[in-house]
């Protein structure tokens, strides 16, 4: 018992430190109302305040995770939860390639979701992600600003940005980096996108694959940059992974 | 009795939220009794029975997906307040069921999973089953947490989005699983030719 108490104390303080450290790396997004590109037509969405990781999850972060939860190692992962391209660049179960502080990619939605849950966090919802990502350095909503859109489009044309380290793109209004310019990111409800992609059968609004398909229309077709992102999400399945797709976690604000 | 209910909820929540190895092991041990019956048949890696989600059926009973193991499962995601596509999906399911020969009917379980767990309480699901004359045991209506529902939809590659408090858009997909929970076939669309779906079920069912 004498031995246990200090050990327990140490464990708890470590746990506490870890939790505190994690929150340090998160930024508060104050929330608000915004008009998403897709969803109910011309209907604004209210986003509650939430915390978001300042940076995407890195190779080093992810290595720590698979060491702790070996069922998510490359050779152990169940194919229901990740397809063959899961961590495809890793030399073996515990050796990633590329920079330690480059974003981890080639992870499935299940893996990303689990990672966040194991940090006491969760994946951001698509509305949260989009809300945070419409900011530039100065403004909460920069979607009408030409330079903002040009930045994203330039990025789309730049090859292999997934090899870059985190934190080298701009710091946005909320203090968050890399929402644009590095990798695309998983969202909790990526499968709420009902535009072309999932089956490629919904090219017309009469497609019988979707009910209520007429409700989906771009509220701003000019916003090609965002359209690409939604289309990509719509084309993904939860067990898929991709070289240019990483993730970061979010958290509710505790009162 | 109420205490037990709470205990069950707490256990369910713990199981759901936990992510460390130890607690998963605990869950495994708790299930050993069930698993032992089918000891020789481990859950295949692509089986939906790997999902640790918990559900409530139309009778208010708690079930795990795993409990469906051993039957051919035909699954669709709907919500009961849906006016457009869901009645047609329900009709499609009924239509499929009709074409399965009598001697194989007992081996097939038809499952409706709600994408609107907030509205679709067990009572609401029960009422829905009555309205649609689907009170036989072969029709199962499930609701889970929002998170489990989202995850399950991800597995079925079903997309859905709430477009108003009363309405969702969602993909219309009927999925067929074998006795071990591996997806064998998916039928996409409303009122489409279901010949292949029916044939898959007949081939699988004993």
Q: Say whether both B28 and B99 belong to one domain.
A: no
Q: Do B6 and B71 fall within a single domain?
A: no
Which token pair is A240?
């898929």
Residue B40 belongs to a domain:
no
| Rounded alpha-carbon distances, angstroms, from residue B186 to A173, B47, B158, B177, B183 | 44, 15, 11, 9, 8
The pLDDT of residue B164 is: 72
Q: Is B46 on the interface with A (CB under 8 A)?
A: yes
Is the confidence metric ipTM above 0.90 for this complex? no
Is B22 an 8 Å CB contact of chain A? Answer: no
DSSP A177: B
Are B13 and B107 in a shared domain? no
How many separate domains does chain B show? 2
Exposed / middle / buried, residue A151 (Cβ in 10 Å: 0-12, 13-18, 19+): middle
A189 contacts in chain B (CB < 8 Å): 150, 161
Give B45's contacts (C-beta < 8 A, 6+ positions apart): A78, A79, A80
What single-letter DSSP state applies at residue B92? Answer: H
Consecutive H or E run containing B63: strand B62-64
Contact A211, B84 (CB under 8 A): yes
Instruction: Answer whether A212 touches B (CB < 8 Å).
Output: yes
Sequential DSSP letters for A12-23: HHHHHHHHHHHH
- B158 with B77, same domain? yes
Q: Which domain holds residue B2?
A: 1-35
Domain membership of residue B80 (yes or no) is yes
Closest CB to B169: pick one of A79, A188, A213. Answer: A213
Alpha helix segments (H runs only) across chain B: 2-17, 21-30, 32-37, 85-99, 122-131, 146-156, 195-204
Residue with tokens 């699988």: B204
Task: Note whether A93 contacts B: Cβ–Cβ < 8 A.
Answer: no
- Picking from A40, A79, A237, the nearest residue to B157 by CB comes out as A237
Residue B51 and residue B152 in one domain: yes
Q: Give dist(CA B40, CA B13) in Å, integer.
A: 30
User: Is residue A250 a contact partner of residue A53, using CB atoms and an 8 Å limit?
Assistant: yes
A189–chain B Cβ distance below 8 A for any pair = yes
How many whole angstroms separate alpha carbon A164 and alpha carbon A103? 8
In order of their start, the domains of chain A are 4-252 (3.90.1580)
CA distance A124 to A195: 20
Structure-token pair, residue A189: 């409800």
Q: Are residues B56 and B30 in the same domain?
A: no
- CATH number, domain of B163, equals 3.40.30.10
Alpha-carbon distance B122 to nearest alpha carbon in chain A (angstroms): 24
For residues B171 and B114, membership in a common domain is answered with yes
Q: Which of A80, A114, A193 sits opposite B46 (nearest CB)?
A: A80
The verdict on B23 touching A (C-beta cutoff 8 Å) is no
Same domain as B139, residue B54: yes
Name the 3-class secondary structure at A240. Answer: coil
Using the Cβ of A45 and the Cβ atoms of chain B, whether some distance falls under 8 Å is answered with: no
Neighbours of B19 (CB within 10 A): 19
DSSP state of B82: -
The torsion angles phi and psi of B164, rounded to 5 degrees, stand at: -160, 170
- CB of B19 less than 8 A from some CB of A: yes
Residue of A nearest to B84 (CA): A211
The low-confidence residues of chain B, meaning pLDDT below 50, are: 1, 9-17, 20-40
Integer CA distances (angstroms), B88 to A113, A204, B121, B193, B202, in order = 33, 20, 21, 13, 22
Q: Are B65 and B56 in contact (CB under 8 A)?
A: no
Chain B, nearest residue to A82 by Cα: B46
Q: Is residue B1 part of a domain?
A: yes
Q: Do A79 and B48 form a contact (C-beta atoms < 8 A)? A: no
B66 and B104: one domain?
yes
How far apart are the C-alpha atoms of A133 and A183, rounded to whole Å?
Answer: 13
Do B83 and B11 fall within a single domain? no
Q: Which region, left, alpha or beta, applies to residue A178 given φ > 0 means left and ψ of -120 to 50 means alpha?
A: left
* Measured distance CA(A165)–CA(A174) in Å, rounded: 20
Is B127 among the domain residues? yes
Question: How far apart, in whole angstroms, are the C-alpha atoms of residue B58 and residue A200?
Answer: 35
Spatial contact of B186 and B174, defined as CB atoms under 8 Å apart: yes
Q: Strand A245-246 and strand B72-78: pairing?
A: unpaired
Kindly list the strands in the beta sheet with B108-114, ordered across the sheet, starting from the edge strand earlier in the chain: B62-64, B54-57, B139-144, B108-114, B72-78, B173-177, B183-188
What is the reported pLDDT for A84?
92
Q: How far apart are the first and last CA of chain A?
A: 36
Establish if A186 touches chain B: CB-CB under 8 angstroms.
no
**CA angle at B110 for the pair B126 and B182, rounded to the nearest 5°:** 135
Of B17, B45, B188, which is closest to A78 when you measure between CB atoms? B45
Measured between beta carbons, the chain B residues lying within 8 angstroms of A211 are 82, 84-86, 168-170, 172, 190
| Residue B175 and residue B125 in one domain | yes
Is B126 found in the same domain as B27?
A: no
What does the block give as tokens for B155?
Answer: 């597995």
Q: How many CB pairs lie under 8 A apart between chains A and B?
A: 104
Tokens of B29: 């041990």
Could you tell me if residue B153 is inside a domain? Answer: yes
Question: Is residue B41 one of the residues assigned to a domain?
Answer: no
- Work out the burial of residue A76: count CB atoms within 10 Å of its CB; fewer than 13 is exposed, 13-18 middle, 19 or more buried: exposed
The low-confidence residues of chain A, meaning pLDDT below 50, are 1-2, 6-7, 9-21, 196-222
């Amino acid at each position: 018992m004498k031995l246990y108490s200090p050990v327990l104390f140490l464990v708890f303080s470590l746990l506490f430190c870890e939790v505190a450290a994690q929150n340090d790396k998160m930024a508060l997004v104050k929330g608000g109302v915004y008009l998403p590109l897709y969803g109910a037509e011309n209907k604004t969405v209210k986003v509650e305040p939430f915390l978001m990781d300042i940076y995407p999850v890195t190779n080093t972060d992810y290595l720590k995770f698979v060491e702790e939860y070996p069922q998510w190692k490359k050779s152990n992962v169940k194919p229901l939860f990740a397809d063959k391209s899961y961590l495809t660049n890793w030399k073996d179960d515990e050796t990633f390639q590329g920079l330690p502080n480059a974003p981890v990619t080639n992870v499935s939605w299940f893996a990303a979701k689990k990672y966040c849950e194991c940090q006491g966090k969760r994946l951001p919802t698509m509305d949260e992600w989009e809300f945070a990502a419409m900011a530039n350095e100065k403004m909460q909503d920069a979607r009408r600003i030409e330079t903002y859109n040009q930045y994203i489009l330039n990025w789309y044309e730049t090859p292999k940005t997934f090899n870059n380290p985190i934190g080298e793109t701009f710091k946005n209004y909320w203090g968050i980096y890399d929402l644009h310019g590095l990798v695309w990111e998983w969202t909790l409800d990526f499968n709420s996108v009902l535009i072309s992609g999932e089956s490629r059968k919904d090219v017309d609004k009469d497609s019988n694959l979707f009910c209520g398909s007429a409700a989906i229309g771009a509220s701003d077709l000019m916003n090609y940059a965002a359209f690409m992102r939604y289309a990509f999400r719509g084309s993904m399945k939860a067990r898929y992974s991709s070289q240019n797709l990483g993730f970061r976690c979010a958290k509710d604000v505790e009162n | 009795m109420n205490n037990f209910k709470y205990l069950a909820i707490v256990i369910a929540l713990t199981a759901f939220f936990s992510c460390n190895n130890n607690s998963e092991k605990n869950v495994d041990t708790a299930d050993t009794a069930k698993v032992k019956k089918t000891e020789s048949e481990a859950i295949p890696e692509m089986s939906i029975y790997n999902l640790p989600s918990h559900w409530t059926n139309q009778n208010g009973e708690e079930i795990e997906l795993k409990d469906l193991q051993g039957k051919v499962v035909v699954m669709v995601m709907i919500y009961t307040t849906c006016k457009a596509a869901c009645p047609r999906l329900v009709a499609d399911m009924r239509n499929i069921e009709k074409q399965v020969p009598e001697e194989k009917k007992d081996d097939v379980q038809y499952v409706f999973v709600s994408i609107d767990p907030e509205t679709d309480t067990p009572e609401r699901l029960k009422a829905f089953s009555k309205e649609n004359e689907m009170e036989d045991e072969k029709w199962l209506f499930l609701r889970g947490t929002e998170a489990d529902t989202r995850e399950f939809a991800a597995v079925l590659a079903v997309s859905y989005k709430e477009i108003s408090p009363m309405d969702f858009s969602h993909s219309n997909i009927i999925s067929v699983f074998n006795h071990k929970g591996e997806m064998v076939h998916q039928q996409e669309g409303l009122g489409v030719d279901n010949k292949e779906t029916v044939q898959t079920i007949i081939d699988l069912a004993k």
